[in-house]
Amino acid sequence: MIVDHSDLTSILCLRQTSLELRAHAQAILLDDKTALLAFYVARHDKLWQHLADWGAVVGGFAALSFLLRDPLLLNTTLEIYVSPLNSDHLEQVLQEDFDLALAQTGTQHWRLNRYATCRQISHTTSFICPNGRYIDVHTAATSSSLDPIASSVITAFSNWVSPHAFACAYPALTLRRRALRSLPSSASPELPGVYSHLIGHGFSIEQDAASWSDWSALVQDVPPPGSRPCLRQAFLCLTQARYFGDAGSLLNVFEPKEYGLRRLRSEHLPPFGISVVWRMLGPPCDGPCSFKDPLLPGDIITLPSVLIPPTTWFRLTYVGPDVVSPI
């Protein structure tokens, strides 16, 4: 069927239509979810279960591959993100699960690595899979497993897939293979390779969305030197505070009837539990985002928070080494 080759947006729309198309679209999403982990381990069902048990999510190129429905984006290494509250448990079950047959190869602590620390990653534990591919379990430096994903230095990686849901922070860009970067490639030795890999897969990378003709018309005044045009009305200003589930993001679930957002909320699973509000690094915009954004004070990049719907409220829950109680 033509729908098999449709993009994610079309499949999500078709899931809202007739019963027949809904079932078919649903099956495609579940097949894509299976394929995501089957690239790494035979018992993808068990790996998804472990991620569910410990509130972990898949990010990086694998999440991007799912959103773009492009298996060519799958990398040799699967990137998993987990809260420090759960990382020991997750690493232990991955090591001990006989069916997965993973072998732990070591743990890297990132205190001196600028790229990792600005991404809010404290350490990474690596496993080798029976097929020779790898799994990296990244432990967040804060209490939110989503913090390192929201702290990506390029919008193309601000996405995640969990056992029950998936999210894309900048779908207007990412689903069209466009990306905004907050750091130049010279900022870290890892970045040139990351950016060129994306460009090799058809991505266009810019510093502000007004560089693309689609949005340049939204810019009314030339921004002052050192700042960028604010496109917050299109949710395309990097300085704007964002969260997974806001009007500029894509957030959906695999099985709306069995495991909808209401159930995720009651079980404190992503994007609920301890979530995150973020803005990206870089020069300020010429709009109000830097000094009077309603979600996030101007000098903070990310803040772990509890999302309280339906009228969105946040309870700030920063948990750092020197803070033991919520503020």
Binding site for Zn ion (CB under 5 A): 230, 232, 237, 239-240, 285, 287, 289
Smallest separation (angstroms) from Zn ion to the CB of 290: 7
Q: How many angstroms separate the first and last alpha carbons of the chain?
A: 53
Smallest separation (angstroms) from Zn ion to the CB of 236: 9
For Zn ion, the closer of residues 65 and 239 by Cβ is: 239
For Zn ion, the closer of residues 197 and 232 by Cβ is: 232
Q: By three-state DSSP, how is residue 89 classified?
A: helix
CA 80 to chain centre: 10
Smallest separation (angstroms) from Zn ion to the CB of 213: 20
For Zn ion, the closer of residues 136 and 293 by Cβ is: 293
Strand ranges (E), the chain? 57-58, 77-82, 103-109, 121-128, 134-140, 159-161, 165-168, 178-180, 204-206, 250-253, 274-278, 302-308, 313-316
For Zn ion, the closer of residues 90 and 179 by Cβ is: 179
For Zn ion, the closer of residues 128 and 234 by Cβ is: 234
Smallest separation (angstroms) from Zn ion to the CB of 294: 12
- Amino acid of residue 3: V
For residue 181, which of 192, 171, 166 has the smallest C-alpha distance?
192
d(CA 243, CA 246): 6
Smallest separation (angstroms) from Zn ion to the CB of 244: 19
